Chain A
Amino acid sequence: MSVTDTDVAGPASTVRAHGSLRDELLRGLAAPICLTWEWTYACNLACVHCLSSSGRRDPRELTTGQLRSVVDQLAGMQVFYVNVGGGEPMTRPDFFDVLEYAVDHGVGVKFSTNGGMINPVKARRLAALDYVDIQISLDGADAMTNDPVRGTGSYDRARTAMDHLATAGFGAFKLSVVVTRHNASQLDSFEALARDYGAELRITRLRPSGRGRDSWAELHPTATQQRDLHSWLLARPHVLTGDSFFHLAAYGQSLPGLNLCGAGRVVCLIDPVGDVYACPFALHEHFRAGNVLDTGGFAAVWRESELFTELREPGSAGACASCGHYDACQGGCMAAKFFTGLPLDGPDPECVLGHGEAALAAVSPASLPAVDNDHSKNDRSRNPGAKRLLPLSVLR
């Protein structure tokens, strides 16, 4: 996220948020800066690392009228734009209806899609809209790397969608990549691919949330890859990261962005049934603050919920208090700790100083939190022995 700090205390610069700006943001804002809004749990793919364990539509998902009413609330709070996702948001029959309603009401939309439903007609319709950004997800620079994670044929479908957008003159869409152990060596190829399309490259962190809980251990980058990633990103400030690598600041140099955990302070998530969570990686009852259909709507949840109020209070460094790098990484990602069974006031599982590895070794698999809201087509709670559609072992 590109934020400029215009302070009267001196000439402003694009910030690597330190000091007073970070303090202000941690105390919370009148409305979120970065709101993720998932429109459906339905998905035409079954990615092994899906944050929201999507697959099947939930019968309680918000209706078109309810989605529009949430747009009205967000417009009233001056939420400037939302990050729409799912599931695959384009599976909703009212996708364009709500998209256009949001844009018409001053709420810009950046939506994440696997591209499978972007045909030439839809690409032209999208190209005609102002204030719409598109992120196409791709987790490998070739089908051999991408498809075991995202599903057979998903690489080709994403590339076809990118072709349709280019032909329709959509302009600079975003190519969105989650860094894994298997694609970490392909960053230059992703950059070249984005350049070929005139697209922006967005690289984000793999989280152990949703189905990622079960695939994270074998997919997350190695310590060496993480170190290389930090150098690679430092040399490329134009590559977007969604502020997701702030734990890497402990290497000594922070990446551009706010570099803080914005959960409940700057960011939050509205899920397809209207539940509000502290962040998009924390779809679990433990981080649920309320529902947009409750009295007072989203504004009341954002401004008054017990959970968000608590998150805005100064936190304790806990087990990291004696670490000289705590100011840089702030203890890392809350969701990454929670879903790997680590204490929230301890080190991040991918702590660059290696404190996470030691802590992870002590976690019993039986103590991991259950995956809430599982909408997988092969729901493990209903079919515990279900095999993943695509065994990751093909990558080895």
Chain B
Amino acid sequence: MPTPTPTPTPPHAAAAVTTGAFDRGRAYQLHPKVALRPERFGALAYSYDTRRLSLLKDLDLVAVVRSLADAPSAAVALDAVPTAKRPAVERALARLVETGFVRERH
């Protein structure tokens, strides 16, 4: 199991993720053309749309991604993650939105 880093995200990296369209107040879902395969370290995501693979290297992140479809907002799904780890999981989720593996649900 990878452990989340205790070090804060550097400012330039934080800027890179906050410029994406992710908004924790909105509802999301796994892209319908993305499949998740459980792996020892988390999951492997494959997009039949873009033909890209992504390694989700954290079990909490995988749980959040799976629960998005039934959560009224990303924030609610993220509530299940321990507080200390939540910002890191949120950043990873934002990245999945940017890369199209997760998309907004209307």
Residues on A facing B (Cβ under 8 Å): 1-12, 20-21, 24, 27, 29-31, 33, 78, 80-81, 106, 108, 130-131, 133
Contact = CB atoms under 8 A, between A and B. Distances in A.
Nearest to B89: A8
A106 B5 CA distance: 36
A8 B55 contact: no
Given A8-B4, A8-B89, A78 B54 contact: no
Nearest to A3: B53
Given A9-B4, A27-B40, 18 more contacts: A2-B52, A3-B53, A4-B54, A4-B55, A6-B55, A7-B55, A8-B5, A8-B58, A8-B92, A9-B2, A10-B9, A11-B13, A11-B14, A12-B92, A33-B53, A80-B53, A106-B48, A131-B48
A133 B50 CA distance: 12
B56 interface: yes
Contacts of B27: none
Contact of A4 (B13, B39, B99): B99
A329 B14 CA distance: 32
Nearest to A108: B48
Q: How large is the interface on B (under 10, 10 to 19, 20 to 34, 35 or more residues)?
A: 35 or more
29 contacts: A2-B53, A3-B53, A3-B55, A4-B55, A5-B54, A5-B55, A6-B45, A6-B56, A7-B2, A8-B4, A8-B61, A8-B88, A8-B89, A9-B57, A9-B88, A10-B91, A21-B57, A24-B57, A27-B40, A29-B44, A30-B39, A30-B40, A31-B37, A78-B35, A80-B53, A81-B51, A106-B48, A108-B51, A131-B48
Contacts, number: 101
Interface of B: 2-5, 9, 13-14, 16-17, 35, 37-41, 44-46, 48, 51-58, 60-61, 85, 88-89, 91-92, 95-96, 99, 101
A5 B57 contact: yes
A250 B81 CA distance: 41
A11 B85 CA distance: 14
B42 to A, nearest CB: 8
A22 B40 CA distance: 14
A278 B17 CA distance: 39
Nearest to A27: B40
Q: Give the one of A8, A11, A30 with max B CB within 10 A.
A: A8
Q: Give the one of A2, A5, A10 with max B CB within 10 A.
A: A10
Contacts of B3: 9
B44 A6 contact: no
A8 B95 contact: no
A12 B88 contact: no
Contacts of B57: 5-9, 20-21, 24
Given A2-B53, A29-B44, A80-B46, A7 B92 contact: yes
Contacts of B61: 6, 8
Contacts of B37: 30-31, 78, 80
Contacts of B2: 7-9, 20
Nearest 7 A/B pairs, CB to CB: A80-B46, A78-B37, A4-B54, A8-B88, A9-B5, A8-B58, A7-B57
B35 A6 contact: no
Contacts of A27: 40
A27 B2 CA distance: 14
Contact of B13 (A8, A10, A21, A108): A10
Q: Give the one of B2, B53, B60 with max A CB within 10 A.
A: B53
B3 to A, nearest CB: 8
A218 B57 CA distance: 44
Contacts of A131: 48
A202 B55 CA distance: 24
